[in-house]
Structure 1
Amino acid sequence: MRRLLGLLLFLALALAQGLGPYWQEVQAQGTVCSDGSPWRFYVSPGDPKKVLLDFQGGGACWDAQTCGPQSQTYRKRVDVQELLLAQGIYNRASIANPFFGWTHVFIPYCTGDLHVGRATVDYGGFKVHHQGARNALAALEYVFKNYPKAERVFVTGCSAGGYGAVFWADKVLAAYKNAQIAVCGDAALGVSTTDFAGSRVWNARLPELPGLGPNPSVEEIYRALARAYPGAAFAQYTTQLDGTQIYFYALMKKEVPPSEATAREWAVRAQTSLQSLAKEPNFTYYLAPGSQHCILPRPELYTLKVGEVSVLDWLRSLAEKGQAPRVGP
């Protein structure tokens, strides 16, 4: 209880003080959240030659049940809790942060469409603005214009943000042909059912890469990226039994709460996908024990270690060298 009260006090103080001095709000004309409220993004200035592109997570929705006004499966308005808590990669004052001194661009998520939607959908009595693609593109165009000489670019995101990172990686790679680029999804493996309708419902903007079909899996997108851009690095982080990823997989199967069988099924498919992608020389992964969801916004970023490799060193190696060892089975 004392810890909770302390956290609430910290949040109250942070809200009272705003996001300064680390974060600057950027308005983006023509952008919108799922409920019609305005969207914006945030920049923490640093070295203009080192740019961190960070897509926020926050669930997803794809039908009347998951997208309903009372649904808790997706974020409906801009919420900058990560910036206020200042943990993990958001601790801009810590020299231990792998991105200390970098320019950090935070791309909020409030459209329920993994940052790729291009549709406003009537679900029978209520509409949801799945306009994540418009929002993401506004932030990327700002970055391309204001940081044209970036030499290192790290594209990432937690959960739904991890999908945003891989879905928009082709655009970033095309814009920064001479930069050292790494793309790392955090807790975003893309294990889904064969009939998952999200991309179709959202009219999703998907990567433009050789060999990709009309409805590619996340694994197929990573593989196509790795082959199209052999000089870039691609990676994923996850825990072996990520509770949130398992929950959404079960939701696709219309099975809530998830059964043990579904959890095991997800775990097997997740590891199979990682090991298959690991055949690509420029793909790596960090598979941690447990069920925690995401590492980037958490204090565990500074303490987690599997075997001899800490996740902090693994992430720093990706950011600084464009390569890192494979950790886990």
Structure 2
Amino acid sequence: MFVKFVFQGVMNTNNASNPFKDYDVVFIPYCTGDLHFGSKDMTYIDPTTGSSVVVKHKGYDNVLSVLKYIQTEYPQVQNVFVTGQSAGGYGTLLNYPIVRETISGLNSSAKMNMLIDASNGIVPNGFFSNLSTQWGADSNLPTWVAGIAANYLTVGNPSIQDFFTKVSTHYNGSGDKTGQYTATFDGNQRFFYKVMHIINSAPPYSDEKTTDPYDSSKTYSFLFGDSDGSSIPDGTTASTDGSSCGWTQQAVTSMNGISAGTTNYSYYIAPGDVHTITTSEDMYKLDSGGTNFVTWLTTLSTGTKPGNAKCTNNGGNCAN
């Protein structure tokens, strides 16, 4: 009940246009730093004090606990829509197979569909091995999905594009429809992409702050920049150094790749740089490329594949 007061958008049961206004909501909070997919306690060193800090990366274990609750409370479940935003979007995708199998075990004819919101997974090479070494996620992989073996995270070139394509294809036969949303210049995703590149360069850690050149009342990390992505350099579409246009081009390329690789997936690419949409009232008035977001989402929620939607603008779009 608490989340229905804190969030709006898909949580707003008073909006007649909300396709989920009559749904029960099962909300999994995020506090494990592992995209809801870890099963490991990991010791880190605090760079400011040198002391050891244990982080319980038990996101996947939390998901399993919630699934046990669903098995008890919803034994006749008929229709499920799984969604999450930002880190929760990755949790939605990575855990979709185990959620799907659990729901099918309760009711083999249950309908299930998915949307991940602002979770494109554009990361430097080698990132996915962290899911194995830091989070202990190998044993949580859905190895019943074709092409996802127990060593998926550490062998070859794992990616969100590849994982999404394989999972969507696997559940296509069940009638599942999968969707993905992003803003073209999502500021927070661009920020984290740049931070990953900075961390990989292993600079000396600093907690020094710098003043925003456009707003003297605002400060942010001198090392990592502003979390809204405003301090990230533009770069070009070919950039692979964490710059803005490089992130955007890779995000759009990934979504086009999934769309080409499986027939039950659709994307919605909005204009602007705002991170996440599904818990904002702005989702009801959002249009992109002539398509209203809620109309698109409602179609997806019913198990019908909506068309892809992509913003068009008068210049400024550095991705194709």
Name the CA distance, whole Å, in 1 between partners of 2:191 and 2:182.
14
Residue ranges of structure 2 left out of the alignment (5+ in a row): 46-51, 200-223, 226-231, 236-242, 311-319
1:155 aligns with 2:82: yes
> Which amino acid letter does the alignment assign opposite residue 90 of structure 2?
Y
Q: Deviations over 1:107-160 (max 9, x none)?
A: 101111100111111113111111111111111221133223222211110000
Q: Deviations over 1:181-232 (max 9, x none)?
A: 1111000011111122530211123333211242132111111112211121
Name the CA distance, whole Å, in 2 between partners of 1:226 and 1:321.
13
What does 1:212-223 correspond to in 2, within 5 Å? 212-213=148-149, 214-215=152-153, 216-223=158-165
Name the CA distance, whole Å, in 1 between partners of 2:165 and 2:66.
25
**Residue 115 to residue 122, structure 1, CA distance change in 2 (3 Å):** same
Of 14, 18, 27, the residue aligned with 1:93 is 14
Cα deviation for residue 171 of structure 1 reads 1.1
Residue in structure 2 matched with residue 287 of structure 1 by the alignment: 269
Kept in 1: contact 2:115–2:179 (CA 8 A):
yes
1:184 aligns with 2:109: no
Residue in structure 2 matched with residue 62 of structure 1 by the alignment: none
Q: Deviations over 1:221-267 (max 9, x none)?
A: 11111221112111100011101111111111017333322111111
Name the CA distance, whole Å, in 2 between partners of 1:120 and 1:247.
27
Kept in 1: contact 2:141–2:148 (CA 8 A):
no
Name the CA distance, whole Å, in 2 between partners of 1:166 and 1:237.
13
Residue in structure 1 matched with residue 186 of structure 2 by the alignment: 242
Residue in structure 2 matched with residue 264 of structure 1 by the alignment: 245
> Which amino acid letter does the alignment assign opposite residue 160 of structure 2?
V
Name the CA distance, whole Å, in 2 between partners of 1:253 and 1:277.
25
What does 1:90-169 correspond to in 2, within 5 Å? 90-124=11-45, 125-169=52-96
**Residue range with higher mean Cα deviation, 212-221 or 245-254:** 212-221
Cα deviation for residue 290 of structure 1 reads 0.6
Cα deviation for residue 164 of structure 1 reads 0.5
Kept in 2: contact 1:86–1:92 (CA 8 A):
no
Kept in 2: contact 1:114–1:164 (CA 8 A):
yes
Question: TM-score under structure 2 normalisation?
Answer: 0.74
Kept in 1: contact 2:169–2:263 (CA 8 A):
no
Kept in 2: contact 1:181–1:322 (CA 8 A):
no
Name the CA distance, whole Å, in 1 between partners of 2:303 and 2:57.
36
Question: TM-score under structure 1 normalisation?
Answer: 0.72
Name the CA distance, whole Å, in 1 between partners of 2:35 and 2:256.
24
Name the CA distance, whole Å, in 2 between partners of 1:322 and 1:135.
30
Name the CA distance, whole Å, in 2 between partners of 1:223 and 1:148.
30
Cα deviation for residue 179 of structure 1 reads 1.9
Residue in structure 2 matched with residue 226 of structure 1 by the alignment: 168
1:298 aligns with 2:280: yes
Name the CA distance, whole Å, in 2 between partners of 1:218 and 1:141.
27
Cα deviation for residue 322 of structure 1 reads 3.3
CA RMSD across the alignment = 1.6
What does 1:1-20 correspond to in 2, within 5 Å? none
Kept in 2: contact 1:238–1:288 (CA 8 A):
yes
Kept in 1: contact 2:39–2:136 (CA 8 A):
yes
Of 292, 295, 311, the residue aligned with 1:313 is 295
> Which amino acid letter does the alignment assign opposite residue 192 of structure 1?
V
Query: Percent of counterpart pairs with the same letter?
Result: 32
**Residue range with higher mean Cα deviation, 201-210 or 122-131:** 201-210
Residue in structure 1 matched with residue 213 of structure 2 by the alignment: none
> Which amino acid letter does the alignment assign opposite residue 107 of structure 1?
I
1:323 aligns with 2:305: yes
1:199 aligns with 2:141: no
Secondary structure (helix, strand or coil) at the match of 1:103 reads coil
Name the CA distance, whole Å, in 2 between partners of 1:193 and 1:121.
22
Name the CA distance, whole Å, in 1 between partners of 2:76 and 2:182.
32
Kept in 1: contact 2:112–2:303 (CA 8 A):
no
Q: Deviations over 1:47-83 (max 9, x none)?
A: xxxxxxxxxxxxxxxxxxxxxxxxxxxxxxxxx6x54
Of 211, 219, 235, the residue aligned with 2:147 is 211
Name the CA distance, whole Å, in 1 between partners of 2:29 and 2:124.
27
Secondary structure (helix, strand or coil) at the match of 1:278 reads helix
> Which amino acid letter does the alignment assign opposite residue 117 of structure 1?
G
Residue in structure 2 matched with residue 274 of structure 1 by the alignment: 255
